[in-house]
């Protein structure tokens, strides 16, 4: 048997999924743009920087005979 808490969580998730599918593409684009311009997105982007420089993985050198 499911507990009352589990049933409530399942109902809430089902409602959220239904609501999400009702959004139009334009609404999703606007929401994404709003997030991308937010301070939280900027903090997440800066989290990958080390000592003020962007952290990146150097390219893997090719074997001598493959060039």
Q: What is the pLDDT of residue 34?
A: 83
pLDDT tens per residue across span 10-57: 888 887 776 666 667 778 788 888 877 877 767 766 665 555 555 555
**23 to each of 28, 40, 61, how far by Cα in Å?**
7, 23, 46
pLDDT band at 7 (very low <50, low <70, confident <90, very high): confident
Range of the domain at 41: 1-47
Q: Is residue 25 part of a domain?
A: yes
In a domain, 61, yes or no: no
Would residue 41 count as lying in a domain? yes
Q: How does DSSP classify residue 23?
A: S
Q: Smallest Cα–Cα separation from 2: which of 31, 21, 10?
A: 10
Count of domains observed in the chain: 1
In a domain, residue 67? The reply is no
Are residues 31 and 37 in contact, defined by beta-carbon separation less than 8 angstroms? no
* Residue 3 in domain: yes
């Amino acid at each position: 048997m499911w507990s009352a808490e589990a049933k409530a969580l399942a109902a809430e998730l089902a409602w959220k999924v239904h609501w999400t599918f009702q959004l139009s593409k334009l609404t999703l684009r606007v929401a994404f743009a709003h997030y991308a311009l937010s301070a939280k997105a900027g903090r997440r982007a800066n989290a990958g920087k080390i000592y003020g420089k962007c952290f990146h993985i150097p390219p893997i050198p090719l074997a001598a005979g493959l060039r």
